[in-house]
Structure 1
Amino acid sequence: MADISATVIATKVMQANLNHCAAAQDLLVASAARWMVDLIVIAEPYSIPPSAVSSRCSSAVILAPSRLPGTSFERLAAGEGWAAARWGELTVVSCYISPGHKRPVFERILGAIRSFVAQCRTPKILVLGDFNSKSVDWGCPEDSVRGRILRTWVEGSGLRVLNRGSEPTCVRAQGTSIVDVTFATPDVAATVSGWRVMDEETLSDHRYIAFDLRPPSSRVPPRHTHPSSSPRWALKRLDRDALRAAIAAAVWDPDADQDSCPDTESEAAALRDVATNISDACMPRTGAAPPNRRSVYWWSTEIEDLRNACLRARHRYAELRRPFQGGVAVGAGMSAETEMALRAEYRDAREALSGAIGKTKFRAWEEFILTLDQDP
């Protein structure tokens, strides 16, 4: 089995909740391929991908789309709302606990995971998922009953919270929350860098979480980083309104933890992500895709543009819905009509993106069938 130091260098991990949405799952697969993600942990998938490890009720999934040399991926256990897999020397647990579950069910699921973790012979354990629990320990303004229970469970299981800052992981019209949480044993926590909530359109109420795993002493750059992969943008097509909205969305959150990045390298990576997201939101990229970037068979420039348009609409809606920004009233005077118009704009953009994905996949599949018919 591969040594953990070799396994986790430049390993990219993504965490997502898809709300049982087909288009959201398609978009996640495309994003993971484009960003060359090695490990994906999913709550509420639309369907179970081939070779994935899933819970008994199929609400929690673990997928390793990129098989690193010498790294095994195998199912270890599965229960109600959780699944566990071995990935190299790392034990990964995916969990989803519905907000509709009563306290006894909530505690029973946590108890099963805790028993599994206690029986693991490795100190290298990663637990990720949507627990629908709120606690100040992972950035919420206050604790919920389930949050207090989960915090006690985390302490008793010997895990650490990896969440940083107070950026919402779930954004709905009714409000925002931080319910998607990442836990790890101390051995794994020491290898984590760049934990962040990504500013990307997901077609789900939940946002992607991403981070890297590598030894803390390693100075090796991420495996997928290449000098030629530095993006460039078409400055002449800059949307200044979208730029202002993207910057406002990025800098908002006066209560964010200013020391959330554990080292200079992680802080630089986080700043680079913010700058990239702002640029993507207000102008298209230019030039060919980097040679090491992958894409799914149905991805197109049209879908890329629709996703960027969706992100811009979300930024405009989010900016004006915030009553305060840095202590200054921003959206407090917004009329109900304006809010409804911005919400409708964002909804229409999401529907356009979702529809385009479905049509493009269908068209690509038909073209593939035609090539089979033509094959002698």
Structure 2
Amino acid sequence: MDLLLTTDLSILNRGSEPTFVIRNKQEVIDLSVCSKGLLQKIKGWKVSSEPSLSDHRHLRFTLEINKVETEYYRNPKRTNWDKYRADLSRDLNNLQFRLGSRQSTERAVNMLQDFIVWAYKENCPLIERKGTGQGVAWWNANLSKLRKSSRKLLNKAMKPGLEQHWESYKDTQRNYNSALKKFKRESWKKFCGDIQKLLIAIRLLRSLRNGPNKTVEAILLPDGMFTNNDNETLSYLMNTHFPDSAINYREQEHDAQDKRVICAEWRLTRKVITPSGKRWAIKAFGSFKAAGCDEIFLHRNIN
């Protein structure tokens, strides 16, 4: 109570439904608290009747938050490729540039990239991203039956004079928990075993890798102080693990001058980068390969 008074928190519990249930005791010992700012946004607090696989029961409530912005995406397979080619050809015919320097070449590449991306976005409609609405792959009828049976036995055991159902409830709860772990494990093994193609494995790796961005945290130094920024943290790690190394803080100098490309370099470029070589490299990718930072999708039927 002193904590609630000093922190200005509010109790969400409603009614006298027990939150902790064992064979010889049913009490309300689990509290849900929140700040004053969230109190009006929390609705429908209740003690759930779902099996929790514990002596403590689940506490459920709804948190009303601002409406999530609708997300949109484009599916390359729905692109009108005929119109895409027509629009891109029209823009490329009007494109005029001279390749005489590094800067002029980069400008031409950027213009070409802009035309390709614009033609794609104009001919590939935006699609609203919706939830799949599908359940988890490992859930099955056996788990539903065990959960339903566990819920019924718990309701019976909580009634006065029906304590004999506690042992049956505990046995069913243990079976439900074991079956839950078993089917989860088997489902994951089956999923991993079905990954035979390299493309599917790459997609799985990408989905597992694209988690929250990890940041370098502050490190406690020998003098009792903490590092203040990433540079200090990385410097300390380098000196600790590579004590004989030397850190070069000099920034790489960029020559901003517009240097002319010599003729010999152009001749070498024409030998290495040929239209047939570029066409072969592009066709080596799979159709509808995920776009990179340039937002350009590849399609086998595009020349």
Same topology, TM > 0.5: no
Which structure dedicates a bigger proportion of its chain to strand?
Answer: 1
Q: TM-score, structure 2 length as denominator?
A: 0.41
Larger RCO, structures 1/2 (Cα 8 Å, 6+ apart): 1
Q: TM-score, structure 1 length as denominator?
A: 0.33
**Higher Cα radius of gyration:** 2
